[in-house]
Amino acid sequence: MKKWIASTMIAASLLGSTFASAEAATKTYALSVKVSVANVRQTPTMDAKVVTKLKKGTAIKAIAVSTDAKGAKWYKVVLANNKTGWMHETVVKTIASNPKTTVAVKNSQLNSEKSIVTQLSISVSVANVRQSPSTSAKVLTQLKKGTALKAVAVSTDAKGAKWYKVTLSNNQTGWVHETVVTVGNTATTPSKPDTTKQTVITNRAVLYATPSFRATVVERINKNSQVSVLETKKDALFNWIKVTSPSGATGWLPAFELNLVAPKYVYAVTSSVKLRRGASETYVATATLNINDRLLSLYSYNGWLCVETPAGIRGWVQEESVSPIAVNRLTSPTIKNNGDDRYLEWEKTNNFNVSYAVLSDNRLKISGAFSYADIPTFPIDGIQSVEQTDTSVIVTFSPGYTFTIRNYSDRLSIKIIETGLKGKKIIVDAGHGGHDTGAIGPTGLKEKEITLNTALLLKDELEKAGAIVTLTRSTDVFLELSERTAIANSSDYDAFISIHADSYSKTSTGTTTYYNVTTNFNGPKSKSLAQYVQQSLVAQLGTPNRGYKEQEFYVNRKNELPSILVELAFVSNPNEEALLKTKAFLQKAAVGIRQGLEQYFNNF
């Protein structure tokens, strides 16, 4: 993410010097206003005073560029009265740049382009169209599978991959990667898609009796309903489509209600964006959006966008208050290998929160404080599909595969693993140690001895099954709780098992397994691991089943791996203390934990 350059919280008296230091004045830019009406502000921030407004097509000269706290560019422009102001990157387009600084780059780009005329078709579920032939370039729009395109040029990137320059429906151009398209025969014209059936992409679309918002409302049509297209009528702002609804009613829908083109999404760039009833600041605000809120863009008017929230609420926002690129997003999906381990990883634009849930049919649902994710365009062994929904990313795994997931500050990593215990990496933590004896039984049996002896037996059990095991301690030494979790969190392991013996009263009895979902990112997997281990453990030991329970023990709460803490039995109970003294009982415990891990890794 771009560094913070200027703060919107600095007092007005300091703004001049702050922005001067942030300006890059090595270039001059010829710009043109690309929206109906664009605001020119006193300083490069959305909260600054509007000094004037410029109409679409107005040519201006920019003498500097700055970047705001959200990473967006602002251009310092010279106005007709020789005064200066600032314009947001979303309201202008560059006509030309200072040749001393940019012509060499442009020429190299032009030399790498080869003019062609060929037909393409999108071959993946959703394809990104980018501003330039690079996977790091800005996404202009997304197109659905089957969309027909005309390519006017082809280029090759640094990795030798082809990019096609395509013409979009708004006559703009963009670039698509060779892996997301099928190339058609240049001598033939591709067949036109069937437009007699279209799908409603908005919430509760309104069907009008005539092509006008003032017309009588015939009915409302639910999202994902299919309608039959009868006729199209052009309008100054958008087309109207005459359709027959699923109920058989006939009427008119604005074209933006249907999937005639790929949906266009925009994202709030600040936490003070007002959603208004009309296209003017004089209209009342019905809601204040949060930064990164995702909006479906319907149509524009006079510098304003009519948008719809995921909840189906419609309103108007200023074009400069939103961006086609989300502030928080998962970008640049790649496959990375580390020895025999294979990972699907996304870069994170910020250190935002991520959570996940395990769904039926081998599906992983990834959610969190992000609004957009780049979808991999390459095949992935072990994964059938990766799809973006309105609120999450759904990863569907192939049968026989499961995963371990980690959320880092700068990336999200999914280890793609085959089911079964073989090759799985497991940390076994013998509780207490050294001067920390843990609980002591009626005859003097120390908990630290029970846990270490069980850990050593469990290590042998797991390694015989083909697992890779690390012990937090293999001798009678003391480790801080933070040292134990540090071993886990700095590793690429798949599970963490902490072994303990319980203590309360002479009559207390039974076996318990604890997990944490409140603060542990891997809470969903931890709960599943606890369930399997508890079930197998009590079956082996024959002890009363005290269940698997949520608890905030440090080694679970501060752990980033799927982690559990096992209380084998009560050392405070004379009968269970006697069992805990025997190798046979501890061996049964090791077998039970190993069987629980096998079930865990055999199930998605």
How do residues 32-68 score in pLDDT, each as one tens digit?
888 777 888 888 888 788 888 888 888 888 888 887 7
The secondary structure element, H or E, covering residue 305 is strand 304-308
Average pLDDT over residues 251-275: 91
Average pLDDT over residues 265-293: 92
Of the given ranges (76-90, 390-404, 501-515, 528-542), which has the lowest mean pLDDT? Answer: 76-90
Q: What is the pLDDT of residue 291?
A: 87
Q: What is the pLDDT of residue 105?
A: 33
Q: What is the pLDDT of residue 84?
A: 83
- How distant, in Å, are the alpha carbons of 205, 375, 487, 560 from that of 385? 30, 9, 33, 26
Place of tokens 């959703």: 126
- How distant, in Å, are the alpha carbons of 66, 130, 262, 263, 389 from that of 177? 31, 9, 17, 20, 22
In 3D space, the residue among 74, 92, 90, 138 whose CA is nearest the CA of residue 372 turns out to be 138
Q: Name every residue whose Cβ is closer than 8 Å to that of residue 362 and which is 6 or more positions away in sequence.
A: 384, 396, 397, 398, 399, 401, 604
Of the given ranges (142-156, 186-200, 514-528), which has the lowest mean pLDDT? Answer: 186-200
Q: What is the pLDDT of residue 171?
A: 67
Higher-confidence position of 79 and 3: 79
- Whether residue 98 has pLDDT greater than 80: no
The secondary structure element, H or E, covering residue 523 is helix 523-541
Read off the tokens for 211. 């092509």
Percent of the chain residues topping a pLDDT of 70? 89
Per the CB < 8 A criterion, the answer to whether 97 and 28 are in contact is yes
Average pLDDT over residues 133-146: 79
φ, ψ of residue 368 to 5 degrees: the values are: 145, -165
Q: Using one digit for the tens of pLDDT, what is the confidence trace for 375-400?
A: 998 889 999 999 988 779 999 999 99
Q: What is the largest CA-CA distance in the chain?
A: 94
10 Å Cβ neighbour count for 412?
23
Of the given ranges (145-154, 202-211, 245-254, 439-448), which has the lowest mean pLDDT? Answer: 145-154
Q: To the nearest 5 percent, what fractions of the chain are helix, strand and coil?
A: 20, 40, 40
Output b/e per residue, 181-190; b: 16+ Cβ within 10 A: bebbeeeeee
Per the CB < 8 A criterion, the answer to whether 549 and 513 are in contact is yes
- Whether residue 430 has pLDDT greater than 90: yes
Indicate the residue type of 193: P
- Whether residue 330 has pLDDT greater than 80: yes
| CA angle centred on 467, ends 464 and 473, rounded to 5° | 95
- How distant, in Å, are the alpha carbons of 12, 73, 202, 236, 251 from that of 211? 49, 39, 18, 12, 8
Bridge partners of 560?
none
- Whether residue 16 has pLDDT greater than 50: no
pLDDT class for 27, splitting at 50, 70, 90? low
Higher-confidence position of 186 and 326: 326
pLDDT class for 257, splitting at 50, 70, 90? very high
In 3D space, the residue among 272, 254, 263, 350 whose CA is nearest the CA of residue 310 turns out to be 263
526 torsion bin: left (phi>0), alpha (psi -120 to 50), beta (else):
alpha
Separation between Cα atoms, residue 447 and residue 580, nearest integer Å: 9
Q: What is the pLDDT of residue 112?
A: 53
In 3D space, the residue among 355, 375, 382, 374 whose CA is nearest the CA of residue 366 turns out to be 355
Q: Exposure of 339 by Cβ count < 10 A (0-12 exposed, 13-18 middle, 19+ buried)?
A: exposed
Separation between Cα atoms, residue 134 and residue 331, nearest integer Å: 13
Average pLDDT over residues 115-136: 81
**What length is written for the chain?**
604
Of the given ranges (170-184, 429-443, 576-590), which has the lowest mean pLDDT? Answer: 170-184
Q: What is the pLDDT of residue 60?
A: 87
Q: Exposure of 443 by Cβ count < 10 A (0-12 exposed, 13-18 middle, 19+ buried)?
A: exposed
- Whether residue 550 has pLDDT greater than 90: yes
In 3D space, the residue among 269, 236, 276 whose CA is nearest the CA of residue 254 turns out to be 236
DSSP state for residue 277 in the 8-state scheme:
S
- Dihedral, CA of residue 168, residue 171, residue 172 and residue 175, to nearest 10: 30
Averaged pLDDT of the chain: 86
- Whether residue 186 has pLDDT greater than 50: no
Q: What is the pLDDT of residue 102?
A: 35
Higher-confidence position of 83 and 477: 477
The secondary structure element, H or E, covering residue 12 is helix 12-22
Q: Name every residue whose Cβ is closer than 8 Å to that of residue 124 and which is 6 or more positions away in sequence.
A: 145, 179, 180, 375, 377
Q: What is the pLDDT of residue 170?
A: 63
Per the CB < 8 A criterion, the answer to whether 433 and 478 are in contact is yes
Q: Name every residue whose Cβ is closer than 8 Å to that of residue 141 and which is 6 or more positions away in sequence.
A: 129, 168, 174, 262, 264, 324
- Whether residue 600 has pLDDT greater than 50: yes
Average pLDDT over residues 456-466: 98
Separation between Cα atoms, residue 250 and residue 33, nearest integer Å: 40
In 3D space, the residue among 445, 464, 478 whose CA is nearest the CA of residue 568 turns out to be 445
Four-residue CA torsion sign, 383, 384, 386, 389:
negative
Higher-confidence position of 129 and 13: 129
pTM above 0.85, yes or no: no
Average pLDDT over residues 211-240: 92
Output b/e per residue, 26-42; b: 16+ Cβ within 10 A: eeebebebebbbbbbbb
- Whether residue 248 has pLDDT greater than 70: yes
Per the CB < 8 A criterion, the answer to whether 433 and 476 are in contact is yes
Separation between Cα atoms, residue 583 and residue 488, nearest integer Å: 28
Average pLDDT over residues 421-425: 97
In 3D space, the residue among 389, 361, 388, 357 whose CA is nearest the CA of residue 375 turns out to be 388
Per the CB < 8 A criterion, the answer to whether 218 and 236 are in contact is no
φ, ψ of residue 503 to 5 degrees: the values are: -155, 130
Average pLDDT over residues 171-178: 82
Half-sphere exposure of 258 (CA within 13 A, CB side): 24
Q: What is the pLDDT of residue 36?
A: 76
In 3D space, the residue among 150, 228, 231, 163 whose CA is nearest the CA of residue 192 turns out to be 150
Q: Using one digit for the tens of pLDDT, what is the confidence trace for 474-518?
A: 999 999 999 999 999 999 999 999 999 999 999 999 999 999 999
Q: What is the pLDDT of residue 119?
A: 86
Of the given ranges (6-20, 78-92, 495-509, 565-579), which has the lowest mean pLDDT? Answer: 6-20
Most confident among 131-135, 137-141, 306-310, 466-470 (mean pLDDT): 466-470
Separation between Cα atoms, residue 369 and residue 411, nearest integer Å: 14
In 3D space, the residue among 377, 276, 258, 257 whose CA is nearest the CA of residue 318 turns out to be 276
Average pLDDT over residues 573-591: 98
